[in-house]
Amino acid sequence: MTGGALLLAAGFGRRFGADKRRQRLADGTPLLLASLTRYGAAFAAVTVVLRPEDDDLADQALALPSRAAVRVVRCADAVHGMGHSLACGAAACRDWDYLFVAFADMPWVREDTLARLLEALTKNMTDDPARIVVPEYRGTPGHPVGFGAAHLPALAALTGDRGARAVLQASTTAPLRIDVDDPGVLRDVDRPEDLDAPA
């Protein structure tokens, strides 16, 4: 069974006020590379979606030591919203059996959490390629969300600012909710002060 993480990193950080992908966490690690390191340790493959002009970020991502096969795709329509970035990445992963939609501004999801979500999805996909897995922390759903191959065409058709939630809500298969003791599934970098939060 082939699959991995789709790491969305083509946003513009308008609420943040700067390009947060290049900002450093409290330990000095650039945000994008921190997230890529985490997902690269947990998955066999990671596809990173960047903007066309992100040559430096692409070089850094591809040079980062990782057990995962890291691939970079460029989304020419990223300026039009997250749905375009997600669609671009999903289209590049159309030969996968599953993918986990992940965000570059959420670097605190624990590796053991990712391993648990991966196991839950692949185990339950044997008879159901439409399976979806969602982590929950204290009753609140978080990320990354795992999708079986049956959902890849719908993910690849997204536009505008419509994210994977639209695909999740349209699914006729109820998502498998995994209770995790990991606040990282909810934590993102929205403001500059979030960068200094402890891991």
Can you tell me the distance from the alpha carbon of 140 to that of 136, in angstroms, rounded to the nearest whole number? 5
Can you tell me the distance from the alpha carbon of 102 to that of 108, in angstroms, rounded to the nearest whole number? 12
Q: Each residue of 102-132: pLDDT tens digit?
A: 999 999 999 999 999 999 999 877 778 889 9
Contact 144, 109 (CB under 8 A): yes
Residue 107's nearest CA partner among 4, 5, 2, 3 is: 5
Token readout for 93 is 């992963």
pLDDT at 199: 64
Amino acid letter, 93 = C
Contact 60, 134 (CB under 8 A): no
Cis ω before 65 (30° cut-off from 0): no
Residue 86's nearest CA partner among 143, 140, 139 is: 143
pLDDT at 93: 97
pLDDT at 167: 87
> Which pTM was predicted?
0.95
Phi, psi of 29, rounded to the nearest 5 degrees: -80, 130
Contact 96, 2 (CB under 8 A): yes
The ranges of the chain with pLDDT < 70 are 199
pLDDT at 172: 78
Amino acid letter, 129 = P
Can you tell me the distance from the alpha carbon of 128 to that of 149, in angstroms, rounded to the nearest whole number? 9
For the beta carbon of residue 152, count every other beta carbon within 10 angstroms.
21
Residue 74's nearest CA partner among 93, 94, 97, 92 is: 92
